[in-house]
Structure 1
Amino acid sequence: MNNSYLRNEYPRPQFERTAWVCLNGEWQFQFDDAQIGETERWYGEVALDRQIQVPFCYQSELSGIGISEFHDTVWYKKKVSIPLEMKGKEIILHFGAVDYASKVWVNGHLAATHIGGHTPFSANITEFLRPDESNDITVQAQDYSTDVTLPRGKQFWKEKSELIFYTSTTGIWQSVWMEAVEPIHLSRVSYYPDIDRNEIGIQYVVENWTGEADIRVNTRVSFQGEVIANEEYQMISSRQKRRIELHDFNDHGMGRWWSPDKPNLYDVEYRVTVNGIETDVVRSYFGMRKVSVDSGKLCLNNRPFFMKSVLDQGYFPGGILTAPSDEALKRDVELIKQMGFNSVRKHQKIEDPRFLYWCDHLGVAVWGEAANAYAFSEDYVQKFTAEWIEAVNRDFNSPSIMVWVPLNESWGIPNIKVDEQQRSHAMAMYHLTKSLDPTRLVISNDGWEHVQSDLCTIHDYQWDYNKLVMKYSEIESAMDAPQNRDVYVQGFQYDGQPILMTEFGGISFQKGDVTGWGYSGASDTEDFKKRVRAVIKAMYDSTLIQGYCYTQLTDVEQEINGLLDFNREPKIPLAVIRDFNEGKF
């Protein structure tokens, strides 16, 4: 295995400790089609029959296996030793994402269970460890490949991908790692930026808080090495919220607010002491920015913001949902910037936190979107809601995220137009998301058949410039059933929200020997350039549109409607696309 694919970067870059161990790399692996693993105690002293490279799923080439046939129960095993500098502390085992249901054993003891294929989970495994010996970590992952009520995103329920659906992912597909902590430590912080008062609200959560100890958290905020604030609080409960004034000047272009043009970030260092003894050090960062709608205008930092976004499905050659390297994630963000987009819509995928790290640091706004199911059931509602809560909580602190999209194009709610239960679910997801996060905008059902939403978002793959401009120059025609779907369902109507075209383009163009499909086709390079120019120019020339999301960043498997091919090679020069996005036609 090429060491460049080890994926050994720190997996949680916004809440970082120094005492940690990457567990990616070679693991034992076995399919369990007969469902005998638990009965035969594979979590005990049993060797599995093959090897896999974690965090790549078995369907991917980079896993070392690379087969697309369904195996819905798989097992992993790895021997792990605790480094000397981590001994004597509590050990937390972390999984970035395991698709779909997981059980974890440590030395034969059940340590964790989790349901949800796109969100992280962890367990304190200290009591199960043999500190002076190697330890067996065993994972069972169960997928449900043909269940269309499962929150799955673009993973197909057939073994071979086709149309808009792609190769499935089963098992571990994001990083696995351990960290060492003292019993009383900082378990979470949440950031609430307030640019109007020039304050950052911080909610602290301390694990194993006790009123019998003097527990304090020191917060040191700096900007490019300059200390902005240094404050200490006594924790009088396990969860507290404080506001810190930032003594900065933030006007006339001299400010330190976060935006795609100026991705300013504040560094934070937290130090926890218990009765005067330091027990924890965590490094983090935040961005000061405000997302709002003012007088029908989409605003960033109290100024109108024309969102120029590209749809990104987050699939990678060789890795499927898992990027081959951190550099590959960074490169995608750099390409988005180089093409003149200021935003990216992660489509039907809760992306690796390292991608958000690069968006935060390089300056790309993000639409955070769930991986949806395809059909509705009450069981789906429970599974999806739990996973979405975990997703919002995981990414809450990323300043680049401006918009949450729990549902897209009525996926999971195909009968929302006529089914009150499904309308209630869409409304519930809107209000649930707002209750979890008051700092961002929420779209109830992106593309069409909205209930209550902060933005009016439309999907329309019309390729003709004149038809697009004419349709999206008047409210009445804009609301006239694009893609044969009503923009709003019964009981809801347009009420002055900013209108954005959140899927359009989709122009297919074959480069090389790759064949596939798109929503409309270009015959050659010059024709592709003309068609991309026409649809983007229509967005600028419309009197209603306040932003757009072009479909799509890259080709994906059989889809060839990317601005880049699957290997991230441009189909036309990046500078040409940048000119279009800057209104230079």
Structure 2
Amino acid sequence: MCLHPSSEANERDKKVFVVPRGDLEKVDEEDETSFEEKCETWRQKVRGCCQDQPPTKQQQRLLTTWGERLDVEEGLPHAEYPRPAMVRDEEDWVCLNGFWQYAVKRIEKGSPPRKFDGDILVPFPIESALSGVERRITKDDFLWYRRTFSLPKNFSRKTSRLLLHFGAVDWQAIIFINGQAVGEHSGGYDPFEFDITRFLNHSGTAQQEVVVRVYDPTDEGIQPRGKQCSDPFTSKRVVAPLGMWYTPNSGIWQTVWLESVPKEAYIHKCRIIPNVDANTVTVTASVRQEVFKRNHGLFVRVTFQGEVVGFASGSTHYPVEVKLSESHKTKLWTPSTPHLYDVEIYLHDSIIPKSSNNHVDVVRSYTAMRKISVGEDVNGVKRLQLNNKNLFQYGILDQGWWPDGLYTPASDEALRWDIQLCKNMGFNMIRKHVKVEPQRWYYHCDKIGMLVWQDMPNGSMPAEWAPNGEKDYSENPLDPLFAKIFEDELSSCVDALYNHPCIAVWVPFNEAWGQYNSVEVVTWLEHYDRSRLVWLSGGNDFGVGSAIDRHVYPEPVMPPLDDKRVAVLGEFGGLGHTLEQHSWTAQTETQREGEGEEVASSSSSSTSEEDAYATFVEWGYGQSENLDSLAQDYLSMLDKLNGLSKSGLSAAVYTQFSDVERESNGLVSYDRKFVKLDVHLMRRAHHRLLSRASTIISRSHQDLVALVQDSISKMPRSATFNILSQALPQSPEPAAGEAEQEGRRRRKSEAMSTVASMPRVSSLSYFSCSIST
């Protein structure tokens, strides 16, 4: 997408560096280090010790359990199939994660280095501990990667093409194969690929060489970068992460992989759109061909737990609509019942194939019958709906940061653990905050049953902003270069994640950061993806989108109601409590001991009085003295949310899932080794909130409930106790005599008659729940 194409020169053009495509200078030195030696060197850098020796106190790092378990000798990191929403056969792909050579050189030298600095473990960013490097790069540096690989066994130059995939590289990358420039890509969060077939060396068993050159100015550029901060703007003397700004990530941070596809034609992309109201699934495929032909067709088959529930065929030039079987009862996707349908897409030579046989290419995906929309409740208030039913969405803010891998967790198991814990806590939604995750993260949300509000990462500088709406209708002036960079990456991210049913909301701008042309961007995104909702988050509202979203700390507050949009609380809470044994600061201060006065002085400056966030460091938006008070404060906020939901609030997001570096306002410690609140307690409290908030009764019935509750509160305590204790289900009691049992039955019947004579509301169960709690 380019909403604002422009050829005007911009002074920020100097931030984008492109090397002319030409033959690269051959690297003279080959990597002669054995794999075992690389593993041992990596272990010493990450764990500060040899394989059989425990680390000393000065060598300890803040590692997650998965980081401690990571052993490169036992297998490649993140070796799972990286694109679960579009899968080819297992023998068609090869993972290129593992050890690569790396070098950091000044940008004045545009050609690959003759000598590399060492080895880096891909896909961990160079600033992370798990990369084995833990080194910062600046706006004046190029980061180089190099490795060799063999052609896949099933690859044939006569029948196949070879694609080189990158899950994500932050920020700008140029790819070279065997000394020739293949292409370039800008964007730190979206996947990209290159057809490298014509650059391969087919002589004998020759090794293929891939070189990647990366440029990443982090916050000194204008590109989307989320909360990465190399030099926090609160103080130019600060060189360490501060407050809500975190360690930057540069270079390759998601899986690199090879994929063999048919030479004649192959499915490049597919878009799957479920329609709950019509009971259909529509598939649109993008096909790449060696020689353009008009006679290619698609055959689509939809199955549920192995049973075929629908199939259809058609031309590749039009969407193919599959009508699900009427005899099959549609299984709707919800957080409590995350039913998924398998979708097989076959590419054929014929325009309308009659079966899946004799196909040219095939990919397997999945979808879910779910509908995200806005509707009115019985009082005419706009509410969020899932599958045409009101659903209060209560979620957690998730930054997606890890102490050992930064943007990249140590394993896919760690990636899934965060989501499953949120599910166990009773949340039904996660707001992925100004970061786009690997596609497997959304796959786990699809499988587990977790709605997602997806933020677009921030970029550029913020417009004037106030969380309470005082700066509504304020935004930055149009910068054509920033607009082009932002819009290209936004559309690419939407394309990459489109087929994941879990995503319910797109948030293009958060808290006015980089916000510009808000009406145009929101309107475009609503039309580009009609299956989801779109809105601005946290202020600077422009009256567009499906919701009015406010951020209020720490106590939840009701946003203003709108006759066209839902009211949501995009952020609240932020209760802080530091656990020293799991603290990022305690670990980093230990590592700084003895590293020199220069580091110490820069560290001390991060807590100077000049820093706007000095009081925020180590805490959060509110401070709890201990875990008991933290639990009490949190439960108190939930009670307030319950009242707000009755007033029209449709969703709320608590800040936040885990501590992150200097922030300690998470429900989980940064290393994921300690959960600050009891999981079962949270689950019960959240279940009660969601049950009440999703049960909407009319205002007249609300008045009746208030009247009855007021009357009961004025009754003598003994009378109230007798009515409730006898009307509601009781625990089994010891056996009694026949006369006593008859007396109990009579008294219970009288109590039930008394309750039945009271004014009726929508359901006695709701009435009973309201009284008893």
State the TM-score, normalized to the length of structure 2: 0.67
Point out where structure 2 has 5 or more consecutive residues left out of the alignment.
1-38, 40-70, 232-238, 351-356, 377-381, 462-475, 586-617, 690-772
Partner of 1:482: none
Find 1:518's aligned residue among 600, 603, 620: 620
**Count of residues in Structure 1 that have an aligned counterpart in Structure 2:** 539
* Cα distance, 1:87 vs structure 2: 2.7
Q: In structure 2, do the counterparts of structure 1 residues 256 and 529 end up closer, same or farther at CA, with 3 Å as the change threshold?
A: same
Paired residues of 1:7 and 1:326 also in contact (CA < 8 A): yes
Paired residue for 1:246?
324
Contact kept? 1:100, 1:171, Cα under 8 Å: yes
Give the aligned partner of residue 464 of structure 2. Answer: none
Q: Is 1:439 matched up with 2:531?
A: yes
**1:110 and 2:190 are equivalent in the alignment:** no
Q: In 2, Cα distance between the equivalents of 1:462 and 1:249? A: 51
Of 322, 344, 348, the residue aligned with 1:269 is 344
Task: Write out per-residue CA displacement over residues 312-332 of structure 1, whole angstroms, 9 at most, x where no aligned residue.
Answer: 000112100011111111111
1:573–1:496 distance in 2 versus 1, CA, 3 Å: same
- Rounded Cα–Cα distance in structure 2 between residues aligned with 1:193 and 1:341: 25
Q: Secondary structure at the match of 2:319?
A: strand
Superposed structure 1 runs of 4+ greater than 4 Å apart: 209-213
Structure 1 residue 69 displacement after superposition? 5.4
Note if 1:457 corresponds to 2:549. yes
AA aligned to 1:219 is V
Amino acid at match of 1:571: K
Is structure 2 residue 257 aligned with structure 1 residue 177? yes
CA separation of 1:497/1:249 partners in 2, compared to 1, >3 Å: closer, same or farther?
farther
Deviation at 1:249, TM superposition (A): 6.3
* AA of the residue aligned to 1:405: V
Report the alpha carbon displacement of residue 494 of structure 1 after superposing the two structures with TM: 3.7
In the alignment, what sits opposite 1:495?
563
Q: Give the one of 377, 380, 385 matched to 1:299.
A: 385
Q: What amino acid is the match of 2:339?
A: N
Change (3 A) 1:203 1:212: closer
Question: Could you say which residue in structure 2 is the equivalent of 1:416?
Answer: none
- What CA deviation, in whole Å up to 9, does each residue of 1:519-543 have, x standing for no partner? 0010001100011111122111112
State the 1:34 CA deviation. 4.6
- For residues 187 and 83 of structure 1, what CA distance do their matches in structure 2 show? 20
The within-5 A match list for 1:2-17 is 2-3=71-72, 6-17=77-88
Residues 33 and 120 from structure 1, CA distance in 2 versus in 1: closer, same or farther, beyond 3 angstroms?
Answer: same
Residue 240 of structure 2 corresponds to which residue in structure 1? 160
Residue of 33, 36, 47 corresponding to 2:106: 33
Of residues 204, 217, 227 in structure 2, which corresponds to 1:144?
A: 217
Question: Is the aligned partner of 1:572 residue 2:650?
Answer: no
Partner SS for 2:106: coil
- CA shift at 1:181, angstroms? 0.6
Q: Pairwise CA RMSD of aligned residues?
A: 1.9
2-structure distance, mates of 1:432, 1:155: 27
Q: Does 1:258 align with 2:333?
A: yes
Matches of 2:637 and 2:327, distance apart in 1: 40
Q: Distance in 1 between matches of 2:483 and 2:295?
A: 43
Q: Which amino acid aligns with 2:215?
A: Q
Verify: 1:67 aligned to 2:158, yes or no.
Answer: no
- Contact 2:137 / 2:143 at 8 angstroms: preserved in 1? no
Identity %: 32
Residue in structure 1 matched with residue 64 of structure 2 by the alignment: none
Contact 1:537 1:583 in 2 (8 A): no
Equivalent residue, structure 2, for 1:419: none
Q: How does 1:479-494 map to 2 (within 5 A)?
A: 479=560, 494=562
Cα displacement (A) at 1:551: 0.4
Match of 2:454 in 1: 368
Cα distance in 2 for residues equivalent to 1:157 and 1:379: 22
Q: Secondary structure at the match of 1:85?
A: coil
1:91 aligns with 2:162: yes
TM-superposed CA distance for 1:580, in Å, is 2.0
Local SS of the residue matching 2:619? coil
CA drift at 1:212: 4.5
Q: CA deviation at 1:256?
A: 0.6
Q: Is the 8 A contact 1:103 1:110 kept in 2?
A: yes
Supply the distance in 2 between the matched residues of 1:209 and 1:273 (Cα, whole angstroms): 15
**Counterpart residue type for residue 147 of structure 1:** E
Aligned mates of 1:554, 1:526 — CA distance in 2: 18
Secondary structure of the 1:228 match is strand
Matching residue's letter, 1:192:
I
Instruction: For residues 205-238 of structure 1, give each alpha carbon's deviation from its aligned partner in whole angstroms, at most 9, with x where no partner exists.
Output: 2211866464232222110111112333344xxx
Q: Distance in 2 between matches of 1:339 and 1:148?
A: 39
C-alpha displacement of 1:68: 3.7
Q: 1:559 aligns with which of 644, 654, 663?
A: 663
Distance change in 2, residues 1:499/1:196 (3 Å): same
**Letter paired with 1:390:** S
Deviates more, 1:50-59 or 1:127-136: 127-136
**Deviation (angstroms), 1:186:** 1.1
Offset of residue 511 of structure 1: 1.6
Q: Which runs of 5+ in 1 are unaligned?
A: 414-421, 473-477, 480-492
Amino acid at match of 1:76: Y
Alignment-derived partner of residue 217 in structure 1: 298
In structure 1, the residue matched to 2:281 is: 200
Partner amino acid for 1:321? Y
- The 3-state SS of whatever aligns with 2:359 is strand
Q: Is 1:508–1:522's contact at 8 Å kept on the other side of the alignment?
A: yes
Which sits farther off after the overlay, 186-195 or 494-503? 494-503
* Aligned-partner residue type, residue 583 of structure 1: R
Q: Equivalents in 1 of 2:393, 2:198: separation in Å? A: 50
**Contact 2:660–2:670 (CA under 8 A) maintained in structure 1:** yes
- Counterpart CA distance in 1 for 2:106 and 2:193 is 27
1:504 aligns with 2:572: yes
Distance 1:65 1:508 in 2: 31
Aligned to 1:84, what secondary structure does the other structure show?
A: coil
SS at match of 1:528: helix
Residue of structure 1 in register with 2:194 after alignment: 123
Structure 1 residue 505: deviation in Å?
0.6
SS in 2 for 1:282: strand
CA contact 2:659–2:670 (8 Å) conserved in 1: yes
Of residues 416, 437, 444, the one that matches 1:330 is 416
Give the whole-Å Cα distance in 2 for the aligned partners of 1:218 and 1:113.
34
Aligned to 1:391: 493
Over alpha carbons, which structure has the higher Rg? Answer: 2
